[in-house]
Chains A and B, each alone.
Chain A
Amino acid sequence: MMLSPKWFLAQRLSALLLAPMVIAHLLGIIYAAQGGLDAAEILARTRGNFFLAVFYECFVVATALHASIGLRVVGVEWLRLRGRALDWLGALSAFALFALGSYAVFAVTAG
């Protein structure tokens, strides 16, 4: 099924999580930019910050879930995909978003 009740609910709950996280992320950017910090100074503050790592990893998981479910819908409505092709689109997009996002979180917070 393109969008089972469980997938529908997962997309809604991930959206619920993403809304405050996006606002917090934007506020963080504005705060850093207003303070005049350069990249090195920002990295000095993010590296080793456990709270930021957990926050952004949750962000990545919610994004991977939310976007991949949405892409399944786009696959059906715009590309006329069905069955296995649809499952591959969802799985690959979720994996790609999770892998790329986690790599970015690791690069910014590890160390």
Chain B
Amino acid sequence: MKPATDTIRVLIRRGDAHSGRICVYRAPRRENQTVLDVVTWIQRELAPDLAYRFSCRVGMCGTCAMMVGGAPRWTCRTHVKTVLRRGQLELAPLRSLPIIKDLACDMSEFFAKWRRAEGRFHSSPERSGRAQPPVKILPSTPARREADAAIECINCAVCYSACDVVAWNRDYLGPAALNRAWSLQNDARDSAHARRLRAVSAGGGCQHCHSQHSCESFCPVGLSPARSIAGLKRALARGALGIRPHSPPHA
């Protein structure tokens, strides 16, 4: 790595949920560095008590998301040069999630909503068991394509933090949970479609989405939770009109 010849001014919101302050640090500027590199350097060299969260560092685990210059981003894949404004970097914990300390948020609420939206896969009793042959799933079927389009979510909560409806209405399930629900609604192997549709139509359900598409704009892996939510709204409308929901063909 080239030695640093310049520095970056880094402003970090530190403190807990009740009291916070902006701390200013100077970190070396390098040709190739991510925001997470900068946070790690500050924690190792200047502020050993700085709390933040990371794991894989390669954009797979979804743990290092935080607000960078007012926008939610995955910091391990965000290059400093793309977000630096007048030599300055502003960092804060993710919006709409309770702060534990400094840049670390409490993700309990996020995952509780994921469960509330029936984000768990429910295997079909008649198809489960080692004695049963594997179900044939053709990747080309429309339902499977819908499921695949939504399945790569890494649960980084960037979409949750970007969503204004989440910020306004604490009951709202949020884009990640609803995106997961849509993926499972299109999975022919899952057996809880009716139950899940009730879960995502209850209080704080998919009908509260304003289709602002912030989730889609900020999703680091290029998913469109807004599109998934639109699918759930269609399913909800069909259900409310008494139209039988289509069961996805699996072969």
Closest to B197 in A: A5
Asked whether B168 lies within 8 Å of A6 as measured between CB atoms, the reply is no
Known: A77-B165, A77-B169, A78-B168. A2 touches B208 (CB 8 A): yes
CA distance in complex: A12, B239 (Å): 14
A and B contact pairs by CB, cutoff 8 A, 24 listed: A1-B202, A1-B203, A2-B169, A2-B171, A2-B203, A3-B208, A5-B205, A5-B207, A5-B236, A5-B239, A5-B240, A6-B240, A8-B207, A8-B233, A8-B237, A8-B240, A9-B236, A9-B240, A9-B241, A76-B168, A76-B169, A77-B168, A77-B169, A78-B168
Complex Cα–Cα for A13 and B168 (A) = 25
Q: Considering the complex, which residues of chain A in the window 43-69 have a beta carbon less than 8 Å from any beta carbon of chain B? A: none
B201 CB within 8 Å of chain A: yes
The contact size tier of chain A is 10 to 19
Known interface pairs A2-B169, A5-B239; 16 further A-B residue pairs with C-beta atoms within 8 A, sorted by A's residue number: A3-B208, A5-B207, A5-B236, A6-B240, A8-B233, A8-B237, A9-B236, A9-B237, A9-B241, A12-B237, A73-B208, A76-B168, A76-B169, A77-B165, A77-B169, A78-B168
CA distance A14 to B241 in the complex (A): 14
* Interface of chain A residues 4 through 47 with chain B (CB within 8 A): 5-6, 8-9, 12
- How far, in Å, is A70 (CB) from chain B's closest CB? 11
B interface with A by C-beta (< 8 Å): 165, 168-169, 171, 201-203, 205, 207-208, 233, 236-237, 239-241
Tell me the bound Cα distance from A6 to B237 in angstroms.
9
Residues of chain A contacted by B236 (CB below 8 angstroms): 5, 8-9
Contact partners of A77 in chain B: CB under 8 A: 165, 168-169
User: How close is A74's CB to chain B, nearest CB, in angstroms?
Assistant: 10
Q: In chain A, what residue has the closest Cβ to B164?
A: A77
A5 to B243 Cα, complex, angstroms: 14
A8 contacts across to B, CB distance below 8 A: 207, 233, 236-237, 240
Q: What are the residues of chain B within 8 A of A78 when measuring CB–CB?
A: 168
Q: How far is the CB of A45 from chain B (nearest CB, A)?
A: 39
Chain A residues within an 8 Å CB radius of B165: 77
Closest beta carbon of chain B to A8's beta carbon, Å: 4
Query: In the docked arrangement, what's the CA distance between A8 and B240, Å?
Result: 9
In the bound complex, CA of A77 to CA of B241 (Å): 27
Instruction: Collect the chain A residues with CB atoms within 8 Å of residue B202's CB.
Output: 1
**Known interface pairs A76-B169, A77-B169, A78-B168. Does A3 touch B207 (Cβ–Cβ under 8 Å)?**
yes
Contacts of A76 in B (CB 8 A): 168-169
